[in-house]
Amino acid sequence: MPDVQVLADAASVARVAAETVAEVLSNAAERRGRCSIALSGGSTPRDLYRRLGSIEYVERVPWDALHVFWGDERCVPPVDPDSDYLMAKEAMLDHVPVPAGRIHRIRGEDPPERAAEEYERLLRRSFGEAEGPPPLEDGARFDLVLLGMGEDGHTASLFPGTGAVLETARWVIHVRAQASPRNRVSLTAPVLSAAARKLFLVTGMAKAPTLARVLEGPRDLDAAPAQAIEGAEWLVDAAAASMLSA
Ligand code: 6PG
């Protein structure tokens, strides 16, 4: 059974998610002296990022031990309104003391294949994994990955019908999405699944049919890539959960 927590509304999802982020990263930093998170883009996490960037969390997140990554990025410059990096920067990173050298954005301004290859090299260096496919060895993986889900069942930039979700050798790939911006760079399902904790944030009535299909429908990874993230936890609001049977 998937681990699903249904909360009253989107604000409650953001609040519980912020508490989870603080707890997971603090525990990791206490254990290892460092911690890592992969951020998701889109609009849902903006409220979460604003909360984490507020005075309430300045002391509660080990910002000085944190390495920030992204689970995907649109192939646009970092100043483009479509940039996932820009959204997180404005909502959170500009307001917290993460050293600039520990903010590892995907270079959306570069040719997509080069950006994907460079980010894979960065991840291998960061996690001490010189060779071989994911999943990463224990201790060499994200402490927390934040994920969203599109109405078409995509997560990160693993879009249905592209075969991207079936990639298991590479850690980072270029994906041609149906949604604009068309060119994306995405971490692959094994890398995302290898994280210690994977937290989906899904809100709104529009996502209800897809959430029911992903969580309760037949397993069909290329049709519903969000199903490929093993062991994920789901924080959803009542509207998005309204078509779940359980
Ligand atoms: C992106 C995200 C993507 C997002 C979903 C949901 O770059 O767009 O990584 O996977 O999480 O598309 O987006 P919303 O939160 O805007 O519904």
Residue with tokens 């849902």: 44
Please state, in angstroms and rounded to a whole number, the distance separating the CA atoms of residues 190 and 165: 9
Indicate the helix (H) or strand (E) that contains 185.
Answer: strand 183-187
Residue 33 alpha carbon to ligand 1 centre in Å: 30
Tell me the pLDDT band of 2, cut-offs 50, 70 and 90.
confident
Predicted confidence at residue 198, as pLDDT, reads 98
Tell me the pLDDT band of 130, cut-offs 50, 70 and 90.
low
* Stated pTM of the model: 0.96
Tokens of 82: 């479509």
Domain 3-243 has CATH 3.90.1150.10: no
Could you tell me the residue ranges of all domains in the chain? 3-243
pLDDT digits (tens, 9 = 90+) for 177-214: 988 999 999 999 999 999 999 999 999 999 999 999 99
**Cβ(42) to ligand 1 under 6 A?**
yes
pLDDT at 235 over 60: yes
Q: What is the percent of the chain where pLDDT is above 70?
A: 95
**CA 163 to chain CA mean position, Å:** 19
Q: Return the residue whose CA atom lies nearest to atom 8 of ligand 1.
A: 42
**Cβ(153) to ligand 1 under 6 A?**
no
8 A C-beta contact, residue 171 and residue 123:
yes
Q: pLDDT: is 43 or 125 the higher one?
A: 43
Sheet holding 144-147, edge to edge: 3-7, 233-237, 197-202, 144-147, 35-39, 66-70
pLDDT at 232 over 90: yes
Pocket test for ligand 1, best of 155, 158, 187, 207 (most atoms within 8 A of CB): 155
pLDDT digits (tens, 9 = 90+) for 7-60: 999 999 999 999 999 999 999 999 999 999 999 999 999 999 999 999 999 999
pLDDT digits (tens, 9 = 90+) for 50-97: 999 999 999 999 999 999 999 999 999 999 999 999 999 999 999 999
**What's the whole-number average pLDDT of the chain?**
95
Pocket test for ligand 1, best of 13, 37, 39, 40 (most atoms within 8 A of CB): 40
Predicted confidence at residue 81, as pLDDT, reads 98
Predicted confidence at residue 137, as pLDDT, reads 53
Q: 156: buried, middle or exposed (CB in 10 Å: 19+, 13-18, 0-12)?
A: buried
